[in-house]
Amino acid sequence: MAADSKILDVTRTLLIQAPPARVMALFFNEADLKSWWQVTKAFTMPRPLGPYAVEWESTEFKDDVLGRLGGSFHGTVIDFRPGASFFLADVYWQPPDGDPIGPMALDVQCRPHGNGRQTMLTVKQSGEGEGARFERYFAIMTRGWEGALDEMKNFVDREIERTKATRESRA
């Protein structure tokens, strides 16, 4: 890479009220991805060399540097450990307008917490690149992952409440 190339990353950690296997499933189940990450399509295979591709609707607004947001995010599952972690390589974001950004990596770790019914989730997205588009993408993803993981937590919390309500109605 050129001398002005930078390595950038976004790391977020969050406690989720679900066991690690459930949290891992949230990243691979299309219905779950549509609910918490608002994707319109997903094609994911939780196994080494499996594809990982998700797509979002294009936004109506335009970022001054990146143009419209949305588009697709895709890579290859390099490592998959059921209920524990996965690693994506050759990750690219294909915006609705303009050239793709990448390659990047996505590392997701799910560690049991407390009684094992909770998960300490860590998501790290990283990449090496240069220029205003690359830097702007990571600036947006800093807030983007925070919001997405908050949505994931809320989705799981609602799922827990629905399960409790169902059990109580049967009792």
**Mean pLDDT along residues 12-23:** 96
Residue 166 buriedness (CB in 10 A; 0-12 / 13-18 / 19+): exposed
Q: What is the dihedral of CA 140, 22, 74, 86, to 10 degrees?
A: 100
Report the residue count for the chain. 171
Task: Read off φ and ψ for residue 169, nearest 5 degrees.
Answer: -70, -25
CATH 3.30.530.20 matches 8-170: yes
Total-model pTM: 0.92
pLDDT for res 73: 98
Lowest mean pLDDT among 22-26, 68-72, 153-157, 164-168: 164-168
Q: What is the pLDDT of residues 27-86, one digit of tens each?
A: 999 999 999 999 999 999 999 999 999 999 999 999 999 999 999 999 999 999 999 999
pLDDT bracket for residue 2 (50, 70, 90): low
Domain ranges of the chain: 8-170
Please give the order of strands across the beta sheet that includes 101-113: 6-16, 118-129, 101-113, 85-94, 71-81, 51-56, 41-44
pLDDT > 70 in the chain, percent: 98
Q: How many CB atoms lie within 10 A of CB 31?
A: 7
